[in-house]
Structures are given as structure tokens and as C-alpha cells.
Structure 1
Amino acid sequence: MSATDLLVRRLRGTVLPAVATPMDGRGVVDFAALRGYAAHIAGQPVGGVAVWAHTGRGLYLSEEDRGRVLAVWRSAVDGPIVAGVGVPRSVRAGRPRDAVDATVAMAVRAAEGGADAVMVYPSALLAGDEDAAVALHEEAAAASGLPVLGFFLHGEAGGYPYPPRLVGRLLGLPSAAGLKLATLDRAMACQDAIRAAQPTGKLVVTGEDRMFGPSLMWGADSALVGIAAARVPLTTAVLDAWSAGDHTAFVRASARLDAFAEVTFLDPIEGYVQRMLWAAVWEGAVPEAAAHDPYGPDLPDAERRAVVDCLERLAKEPDTPR
């Protein structure tokens, strides 16, 4: 069995949190806090973790910090680690070739640090050029020796839509383990991509924090989501209930997760990283001093109160219907 086939088998039906990166008020990574957070997440019902993803501000970190972050997670987590790879903010990619080279170099670093797969950020410089997008994934896989996940990322986070034909071509690559979807609120685009991915037999990975339950109903079979950066059981309960065919439990779990998503994934959408860090503080996974996102917008205190009020309300409800 190839490494790609093995990864598909291990990840199908599981949740991978797109983990946050604890930082202080100056934007310096707090590695002591990170080690505690990693131990906390590792003790949750996860299939692995995703590092260097949007939630973890992977493209903003220095190369040294990215390596140290990956090392912490590698020592904490037994399951697969998927590393997001793309164009770091420290690199000014003015040409498509520059974007490809930076992404491939990051994939190589991920392999050297012990990652099990890479999730390839789409580069807007390649939008409309399907051959170039396919070649990017081929180069990242060849240089790193790792399976790849395609990443259909919404434009608000720097991505661009993958048409169904491109989805099929990407998942036709021997190195492709699956497709991660993060269309934000574009139901038709999400459905079309899932329909294109399903015949390939590869992973259909939902990253649809605001359409999590529906994306499973449309055909997603695993998850890699920022909403699981805190309160992991809220997310896993939905996927587990759907996989088990327990529709009563699924509807209830999905409603609970939706309530949390409504107060964390909303405009301004880039604020979700800070909101998830607030949630991590509430559950004791991250200390207050390390719960800063220097790359997102300033948010009013009322938004933090909404997050905390939601979590306290959910905590008072029984985990299963009486």
C-alpha cells in the first residue's frame, strides 16, 4: 500500500483540527503555551492535526518558527500531521514561478520536520491556469516525497475557486490524498467540488465551518477545520453521528456546532482566529497571555462576550438527549 493510500485510510472519518499558534501581545510565538496546547489537543478525539494552516497563521511565521511549531506538534501527536504549504508572507511572489518555488520549498521543510502530508495553498497567481495548478501539486509532492491535499480556499483568505474539472485532475494524481474544501458560504461551489471529487475515491475533506453538517450530507467524509482549534468534541460529535447513521444525534450535534460557528465565523471573517483563541482560553487550553492574533482585525469586547456566553450555554446542556 502506498503512503498516499495509507494516509487516506487513516484519515477517512476523522477530524483534524487546524490548530492555532499561541502568541503574545507582540506577536511572538509562546512555545511554552504551545506545548501545553498541543498536549491538550493530542488528548482529544482527533485523527491528527493540521499545522501551518490559516488558523495557525502558517504563512506569517518565520521559517525558524514554523520549524519549531512543527517539532512541538510532532512530539505531541501520534496521528498524521498535515502541513499547509504556500507562499510565506516574507516572500514577495511577483511571478507564478516564484509562488511555485516558495510553496515547494515549504513542502520540503515540512517533510524534513516530520509531516505526513502537505496541504497546498492555492496561489491566485495561478488562477485560470489549470495546467499550472496541477504542476504545482506535482512538484510539491515530488520534492517533499509526501502525499498532497488540494485546498479549495475562498477568496477572502487568498484562494480562488477550483472548477470541477480541476478538482478531477488534481485528485487523479497518484500523490493526491484528497481535497480540502473551504468555500466559506458558497454552497453551490462546495457541492460541485464534492460531486467532482467523489468518483476518485480520494478524501473529501470539509473545512466548511459554517456549513459543516450540510457538507457531510453532500458527501464530505472527513474534516480539517479551524472550528476544532478549540472545543474539539463539538466538531467530532457531528462527524461521528453522521458516520454512524444516527440522524437524531447528528441533528442535535450539528445544531450545537452551528451555534458555536455563528459566534466565531462571522464578519470580519479574519477575526475567527482571535475568536477561536478566546475559546481556547475559556476551555483552559491556552493562557490569556498567549491568546493574541496580531494578523487579524481588532474586535470589540462584545464579540468575546458572545463567544464565552455561547460556550457557557452549551456547557450547561447535556451531551446526549434525555
Structure 2
Amino acid sequence: MTQVTPGEADPLGLTGIIPPTVTAFDSDGAVDETATAAHAEFVVDGGANGVFPLGTNGEFALLSGPERKRVVEAVTDAVDVPVIAGVGAESTRQTVEHAEHAESVGADGVVAVTPYYYPLDEQAAVDHYRAVAQAVDVPVYVYHIPGRTGNTLSPSTVDRLATIDGLAGIKDSSKDVPWLAQAIDRNPELTFLAGSDSLLFAGLQIGCSGAVSAVSNAFPELVVDFYDAYESGDIDRAREVQSTIYEVRSALKEGPYMAGVKTALSLRDVDFDVGDLRSPLRTMNPEQRDALESTLESLDLL
């Protein structure tokens, strides 16, 4: 067995694969709660250890407040694994409102992306997360994705965040392995989740207890196979599956930003339709779709 340990400050003890589930849209572009819930059930049936609605793959920034609430309600009603709902927004007030709603409808935890657009200094970041943690009784997880928010949390900021009661962990999508390794080393009481499929193996090696994997939205069985192999100590198998995941990840990226996951789902034999992405995001064109299908077939994934 390979030791995979969540932080002691994390009451959910998150480990394993947690897909950032998609938000489904119908043919008119409206949120389709039924298909959104069906996708969450699909990844859980594929072995996912939890779900994270309203992350980047959930297109949270393109949804209205009421739409976001309906997504959280649909997913929490649909699955029995831990639901850590995305609640992040530009302002602390909005983030707190989303967090309070998520808790009220049964989310097991909340994930708050670092506020974006305006620059944040260390004190502003600490004050923000303290306000969120004080507003709810469920654990709060930081979503660190500086490439999208424009705000990087410094090591000293992470140290201060770790002292906040109710702050349980960090989902890191910086792809900055030295940053992540240092954060884990300095704050082992927190749970850390790798936020990129490119760093599944590396993340576990440096102390992450699991991963938020976009590939697992379309192929949960594949990414769960990787995690199970790693946890059981079959490192050769884990490396082999990580290599396949690299190929899938690259194929999913051969098109408009984030279009690959929903296209791959449409190529799988599933009984729900997650629809297109919401504008201004675009779906794959026919040539890109055909290329993705060909790659996935070559990998025996369809």
C-alpha cells in the first residue's frame, strides 16, 4: 500500500478522484438540471470519491446566481458521495451567499476560488477566506488557480490561511510543483488536491491525497484505475495509466478551450446529453470532433 493521507484539519478526509462536474445545457442554452445530475451520477458510478460542481468545468463564471443554486441543488440531491460545491465569486459578499446556500441544501463542503479581476494582497485574501469559513459550518477548501484569477497565494498567505478554523484544504491548479510541494510541507494539517491531470502522479508523490480531474468527467473509470493502482502500491501500473491520461488530456485540448470534455461525453454511450458550452465558449467543430473520436478509439476508450 502507498500512503495517501488527507489533512487532520479536513473533517471530510477527502481522498481519491473528485471530478469537477459539468453543467449541462439544453438545446435552448438553459441549465438542464436533470442532465447535470445524471452526469454527477455517471462519474460516481465510475468510481469517483466525491464531486465538485461549479468548478471551472462547471462553467460557474457564466451562470447567474439562481442558476448556480439550481446546479448545487441538483447535484446534492443526486449523489451519496461528498459534494464540495463551488461557491467562488469576485466579491466576499457573493461568495458567502453562495456558501450559505450550498450548506443549506446539503453540500458537504464548499470550494471558493480566489477572488479574481482585482489584485489581492495577503491580508485581503486572509480576510476573504476567514469570512467564508465563519459563515458556514461545513469545511471550506481554497481553489488556487492563479492563471485564471490573476492572484497567486504566497507561501506566507497559505500559512495564515491554514490557521483559520473551518478551512480544510486547498485544490491547487497552479501547475507550480515547487509551490505545491512547499505548501504541503509547511501545512500538512490541510488536505491538498492536485488540480491538473498532468500532475496526478506527481501530486500524490509530494503529498496530495487526491485529485480534481477534468479527464474523470468523461472517463472516470480510467482516472480511478490510476488512483487505485497508486494507492495499492502498483506504481508501474499507475505510471502506465498516467501515460494514457496524458494522451487523453492532450486530445481533449485539441479544440476550443474546455470543449473536449463535453465532446467526449457525447461520444460515449451514456443516456444523458450535457449539451454545448455556454457562449462565449465554443464547442469542437466536426473535424476536431472526428479527430478526438479517432484518438479515443485508438486508446480503446469508446
Query: What TM-score comes out, normalization by structure 2 length?
Result: 0.88
Match of 1:237 among 225, 232, 240: 225
Which residue of structure 2 aligns with residue 275 of structure 1? 260
Which residue of structure 1 aligns with residue 170 of structure 2? 179
Match of 1:294 among 278, 290, 297: 278
Which residue of structure 2 aligns with residue 58 of structure 1? 60
CA contact (8 A) 1:180 1:205 kept: yes
Q: CA separation in 2, counterparts of 1:5 and 1:158?
A: 25
| Coordinate RMSD, CA, aligned | 2.3
Q: CA separation in 2, counterparts of 1:218 and 1:267?
A: 31
CA contact (8 A) 2:133 2:165 kept: no
1:212 matched to 2:200? The reply is yes
CA drift at 1:291? 2.0
Which residue of structure 2 aligns with residue 138 of structure 1? 130
What SS class does the counterpart of residue 156 from structure 2 fall into? helix
Which residue of structure 1 aligns with residue 4 of structure 2? none
Q: Deviations along 1:43-94, whole A, 9 cap, x unmatched?
A: 121111001111111232222222222222112211111111122xxxxx6x
Gaps of 5+ in 2: 1-7
Q: Deviations along 1:131-187, whole A, 9 cap, x unmatched?
A: 1111111111111222111111032x334222222222222323121110112xx4x
CA drift at 1:37? 2.2
Q: CA separation in 2, counterparts of 1:199 and 1:121?
A: 21
Q: CA separation in 2, counterparts of 1:115 and 1:161?
A: 27
Q: Deviations along 1:6-61, whole A, 9 cap, x unmatched?
A: 21x2x12x111100011134321123322332332231211110011111112322
CA contact (8 A) 1:237 1:253 kept: yes
Q: Give matches, 1:122-271, under 5 Å.
A: 122-124=114-116, 127-155=119-147, 157-183=148-174, 186=175, 189-201=176-188, 202-265=190-253, 268=256, 271=257
Which residue of structure 2 aligns with residue 113 of structure 1? 105
Percent sequence identity over aligned pairs = 25
**Which is further off, 26-35 or 253-262?**
26-35
Gaps of 5+ in 1: 88-92, 94-98, 318-322
CA contact (8 A) 2:196 2:214 kept: no
CA contact (8 A) 1:86 1:122 kept: yes
What SS class does the counterpart of residue 247 from structure 2 fall into? helix
When residues 21 and 275 of structure 1 are mapped into structure 2, their CA distance, relative to the original with a 3 A threshold, is: same
What SS class does the counterpart of residue 179 from structure 1 fall into? strand
What SS class does the counterpart of residue 124 from structure 1 fall into? coil
Q: CA separation in 1, counterparts of 2:79 and 2:98?
A: 21
Specify which structure has the higher proportion of helix.
Answer: 1
The total of aligned residue pairs comes to 293
Which residue of structure 2 aligns with residue 315 of structure 1? 300
CA drift at 1:284? 2.8
Which residue of structure 2 aligns with residue 96 of structure 1? none
Q: What letter corresponds to residue 153 of structure 1 in structure 2?
A: I
Which residue of structure 1 aligns with residue 11 of structure 2? 6
CA contact (8 A) 2:39 2:272 kept: no
Q: CA separation in 2, counterparts of 1:5 and 1:242?
A: 22
**Which is further off, 21-30 or 120-129?**
120-129
Which residue of structure 2 aligns with residue 34 of structure 1? 36
